Amino acid sequence: MISREEVRHIAKLARLGITGKEEEKFQRELSKILDYIEQLKKVDISNVLPTSHSISVENVVREDEIKQQDSEVKKRILEQVPDKKEGHIRVKSIL
Amino acid sequence: MIMELDELTISQALQKLKRKEISATELVRNFFNRIEEKDKKILSFLSLNKDSAFLKAKEVDDLIISGKTLPLLAGIPIAVKDNILVEGLRCTAASKILENYIAPYDATVIKRLRDQGAIVLGKTNLDEFAMGSSTENSGFFTTRNPYDSDRVPGGSSGGSAAAVAANFCVFALGSDTGGSIRQPASFCGVVGLKPTYGAVSRYGLISMASSLDQIGPITKNVEDAKIVFEVISGKDPLDSTSVILNPDSSNYQLQIKDLRIGVPKEYFIKGTDPGVENIIKNSIKKAETLGAKIEEISLPHTEYALSCYYIIMPSEVSANLARYDGIKYGYSKLKGQNLLDVYLENREEGFGEETRRRIMLGTYTLSAGYYEAYYLRAQKVRTLIKKDFEEAFKKVDLILTPVSPTPAFKIGEKIKDPLTMYLSDIFTIAVNLAGLPAISLPVGKVDNLPVGLQIIAQPFEENKIFGLGQILEKNI
């Protein structure tokens, strides 16, 4: 069983606001799922390499060059920004 | 006559258009009329694209009148899962956090379909960010199964599968991370293909778990799945994981007498509905009667696939969904005192329950001290699952299994218990972990509810799947 402190810590790492009631719910649900996942401990994984990508491709590279984005697309992307100023995204001060 | 128009496959619709028996405008109008009349009950669409669809239809009609060669999908009306970007249309991923997001560009698959003349009718419902097996996790509403409105259409591409089954379009696009094309196709009695990982560009697909996600077609028959797959697949410079496909594979002719089919014993276990198992076993027998050699095989790590998936998938989800911060786009309240408060608040209010659960789970399994115990271990088990298939494919050409242990379940039946819901994907997830192509083919019904057969092939051998699929389709 994971602790409520752990739930709170994870929520903060995930930048997810949660209520006190949800802390308890996540504690219960995550513990149940983690218990189920425990069965992986039975598998012998010595000398097994990890797979991060099922179909192996060689490193994919391209020229490092600046490509002009379509100005129409640029405009549409900026239209989605909730708070902007002079074509820039405005963010709360972090210092 | 109207009935007929709804049920048309791609080649039938094209033939009617070419012979001028119908116009593209009539075809599009016919589908919109049907959607307006019947989708109130099924709720497969989140939004419609009427104005632009009629404009495109007019362009196709002009092309037909001019007598020029028609592209492969000229005038074919389609539905698109709402996690795939279509320029100028709302794209929500069925999440409140993207409720008002307008796609600034086309996904590569959409560009390829539009270049061939396909017409987007609208965007279909899904579980939020494609996380779920029933559409009950949609931030907006639950889609109904066209065969029984008390039941789920499956998920996450439930809206797309229901729209094809209810004849609201000729075909639809879905996405599949752990079974999200195949399971709803099975529940709705339509064909659903998850292509080999890398066969289809993911550019413009809203990312869920990037090492598992693939876009694929949901269609009325296998021929249509093949046509759509050939249009949307292939290398795309905008997705570095997409690969160049062998151009000759399209002409492949399958000889069923040369075919070796594997039936994995681990997929015929207690807990599967006896009616489903019976139908699947009968279709395997059918393949044998037609000349294929059937062989029992073993995929020994099958029992670990679900656990492996529920570590890798949420880990990737938690990283991918970090982008929804309410700063660049999407749901945004900027009331918070500082940046951290803004993040916490936007993500608390914008994300639904299952999404939050998976973000939490993934953050936990990736966090300091747990990475090796969970994520790294799961990646090693993934290697073993992949090797199981590699060993099996030394002996057989294709593998047959059920798509889902049950037919469509009731709305509300599993939503209260996440783990029970996760178990409904037990036969589809290993395929995603191994990157293989697989199809769901409708092969029968239990109490009027459709059942799908899963045909799995080696990477990039979609054509063997299409070959056997077409033979079984004719004979079942």
User: Quick check: is B210 in a domain?
Assistant: yes
What is the DSSP secondary structure assignment for residue A58, as one 8-state letter?
A: P
Mean pLDDT of B84-102: 97
Cβ–Cβ < 8 Å for B442, B452? yes
Residue B3, pLDDT > 50, answer: no
pTM over 0.80: yes
pLDDT digits (tens, 9 = 90+) for B291-306: 999 999 999 999 999 9
Residue B349 forms part of a structural domain: no
Instruction: Answer whether B452's CB lies under 8 Å from B182's CB.
Output: yes
The minimum CA-CA distance between B39 and chain A, rounded to whole Å, is 30
In tens, the pLDDT along B245-297 reads 887 777 788 899 999 999 999 999 888 999 999 999 999 999 999 999 999 99
Report A:49-78 residues touching B (Cβ under 8 A). Answer: 49-55, 57, 60, 62, 73, 76-77
Nearest alpha-carbon partner for A81 in A71, A92, A89: A89
Confidence of residue B401 (pLDDT cuts 50, 70, 90): very high
Q: What is the pLDDT of residue A29?
A: 93
Q: In what order do the strands lie in the sheet with B191-194?
A: B45-48, B119-124, B77-81, B171-176, B214-219, B191-194, B438-446, B449-456, B398-402, B260-264, B293-297
Instruction: List helix spans (H) across B67-118.
Output: 108-115
- Give dist(CA B220, CA B138) in Å, integer: 25
How many domains does the structure of chain B reveal?
A: 1
| Each residue's pLDDT tens digit, A16-71 | 999 999 999 999 999 999 999 999 999 999 999 999 989 988 888 889 999 888 89
Instruction: Report whether B385 contacts B301 (CB < 8 A).
Output: yes
User: Does pLDDT of B1 surpass 60?
Assistant: no
B173-231 pLDDT, tens digit per residue, is: 999 999 999 999 999 999 999 999 999 999 999 999 999 999 999 999 999 999 999 99
pLDDT at B13: 96
For residue B173, give the CATH number of its domain: 3.90.1300.10
A51 and B383 within 8 Å at the Cβ level: the answer is yes
Residue B79 has pLDDT above 50, yes or no: yes
In a 10 Å sphere around its CB, with 0-12 CB exposed, 13-18 middle and 19+ buried, how is residue B95 labelled?
buried
Residue B416 has pLDDT above 90, yes or no: no
Q: Is the pLDDT of residue B2 over 60?
A: no
Mean pLDDT of all residues in B24-49 = 98
- Residue closest to B360 by CA, chosen among A42, A15, A52, A62: A15
Using a CB-CB cut-off of 8 Å, the residues of chain A touching B343 are 15
CB contact at 8 A, B384 and B256: no
Strand-pairing partners, residue A84, are A89
Q: How far apart (Å, rounded) are the C-alpha atoms in residues B133 and B146?
A: 16
Mean pLDDT for chain B overall = 95
Distance (Å, whole) CA B309 – CA A33: 12
Query: What pLDDT is stored for residue B411 in this prediction?
Result: 97
E strand or H helix at B18, and its extent? helix B10-18
Cβ contact B365:B358 at 8 Å = no
B304/A57 Cβ within 8 A: no
Q: SS3 of A31, please?
A: helix
> Is residue B420 domain-resident?
no
Domains of chain A: 4-42 (1.10.20)
Q: Please, which pLDDT band fits residue B57 given cuts at 50, 70 and 90?
A: very high
> From CA B216, how far away is CA B45, in angstroms rounded?
18
- Answer yes or no: is B367 within a domain: no
pLDDT (mean) for B413-440: 93
Q: How many helices (H) and strands (E) does chain A have?
A: 3, 2
Which residue in the set A11, A30, A55 is minimally distant from B196, CB to CB? Answer: A55
Looking at the complex, report in whole angstroms how far the Cα of residue A31 sits from the nearest Cα belonging to chain B: 10
Q: pLDDT tens digits, residue range B321-356?
A: 999 999 999 999 877 778 999 999 999 999 999 999
Q: Which residues contact A44 (CB under 8 A, 6 or more apart)?
A: none
Q: What percent of chain B has pLDDT over 70?
A: 99
Q: Quick check: A37 and B329 CB within 8 A? A: no
Per DSSP, what are the bridge partners of residue B200? B233
Task: Report the first-to-last Cα separation within chain A, whole angstroms.
Answer: 37
CA B419 to chain centre: 21
Lowest mean pLDDT among B10-19, B66-75, B410-419: B410-419
Q: Which of B354, B339, B329, B340 is nearest to B99 (CA)?
A: B329
Domain that holds residue B229: 2-250
Q: Domain for residue B102, yes or no?
A: yes
For residue B376, give the DSSP letter.
I
The model's pLDDT over B308-325, given as tens digits with 9 standing for 90+, comes to: 999 999 999 999 999 999
The confidence score (pLDDT) of residue B240 equals 93
ipTM of the complex in this document: 0.95
